[in-house]
């Protein structure tokens, strides 16, 4: 490809030969190559949009499911919540091993005890309830510099089967703060629901665009087909202009052979003498 003129090698050869058919052929091939490249780019974009559409659709289903389940949990909490005389929300945590009327200090102390000594083997273990939500603890194991590290995380789960945490599931050393862990986790529900709403809105905004790309067809398919037909026509024309020359050569040789007399037929061999036929 000539950087200044944009002309390729085939076009140069065609111009030098003086054959306009060759030049037409070179130009058509150049246009076809450009359109084929454009078509490939279109198809790549279409395939990419197809896979992205599948991912977005799956993510939308997940986000919608989380939104519905979180909304269910929030509505359940709102229907069960209790308030004190001063308007603050009560925290009636029920822990296994403690009396129903245990105060915040007792609850906090029990939770810290579980944080130190619970061993669930990576499973979720029920330890109590709050407003109909299940309270859980899970022991997680990790290793750092060759030392095993054991961490107990606390979670709360409702009818929506989603586990919520506060402070990454870690219990505060302060007993009153520790006792508020699960209620604090549930009070974060509105922000979680809002996040899912935003995610759903973003995905739904992009889906129509992706669907349009996936359903779309390449607009220049007809033009590409026309160019290929033109190219085939030019190639036939070039072939026909070459064919007569190759067929003419054997014919000329036959004519020459007919015109050349065969001396062997006109000579009579007699006793070593070569005489023309008719002469004795």
Would you give per-residue pLDDT tens digits along the chain (280 residues)? 555 545 556 555 555 556 688 888 889 899 999 999 999 999 999 999 999 999 999 999 999 999 999 999 999 999 999 999 999 999 999 999 999 999 999 999 999 999 999 999 999 999 999 999 999 999 999 888 778 889 999 999 999 999 999 999 999 999 999 999 999 999 999 999 999 999 999 999 999 999 999 999 888 989 989 989 989 998 898 888 776 554 445 555 555 555 555 554 444 444 444 444 544 4
Q: How far apart are CA 278 and CA 276, in angstroms?
A: 6
Do 20 and 137 lie in a common domain? no
User: Which residue segment(s) compose the domain that 95 sits in?
Assistant: 90-186
Is 146 inside any structural domain?
yes
User: 118: closest CA among 170, 174, 181?
Assistant: 170
Q: How many domains in the chain?
A: 2
Is 157 inside any structural domain?
yes
Is 264 inside any structural domain?
no
Task: State the pTM of this model.
Answer: 0.69
Q: How far apart are CA 24 and CA 48, in angstroms?
A: 36
Do 199 and 176 lie in a common domain? no
Q: How far apart are CA 12 and CA 239, in angstroms?
A: 20
Asked which of 136, 157, 186 is the last residue of a domain, the reply is: 186
């Amino acid at each position: 490809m000539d950087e200044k003129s944009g002309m390729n090698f085939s076009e140069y050869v065609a111009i030098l030969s003086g054959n306009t058919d060759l030049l037409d052929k070179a130009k058509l091939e150049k246009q076809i190559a450009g359109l084929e490249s454009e078509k490939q780019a279109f198809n790549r974009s279409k395939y990419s949009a197809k896979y992205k559409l599948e991912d977005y659709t799956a993510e939308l289903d997940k986000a919608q499911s989380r939104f519905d389940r979180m909304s269910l949990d929030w509505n359940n909490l709102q229907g069960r919540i209790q308030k004190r005389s001063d308007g603050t929300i009560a925290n009636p945590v029920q822990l296994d091993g403690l009396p129903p009327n245990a105060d915040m200090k007792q609850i906090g102390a029990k939770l810290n005890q579980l944080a130190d000594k619970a061993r669930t083997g990576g499973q979720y273990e029920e330890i109590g309830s709050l407003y109909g939500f299940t309270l859980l603890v899970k022991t997680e194991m990790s290793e750092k510099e060759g030392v095993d590290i054991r961490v107990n995380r606390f979670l709360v789960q409702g009818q929506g089967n989603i586990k919520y945490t506060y402070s990454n599931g870690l219990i505060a050393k302060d007993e009153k703060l520790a006792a508020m862990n699960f209620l604090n986790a549930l009070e974060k529900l509105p922000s979680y629901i809002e996040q899912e709403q935003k995610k759903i809105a973003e995905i739904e905004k992009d889906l129509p665009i992706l669907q349009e790309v996936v359903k779309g067809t390449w607009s220049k398919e007809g033009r590409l087909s026309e160019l290929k037909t033109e190219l085939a026509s030019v190639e036939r024309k070039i072939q026909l202009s070459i064919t007569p020359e190759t067929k003419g050569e054997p014919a000329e040789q036959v004519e020459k052979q007919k015109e050349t007399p065969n001396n062997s037929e006109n000579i009579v061999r007699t006793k070593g003498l070569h005489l023309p036929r008719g002469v004795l």
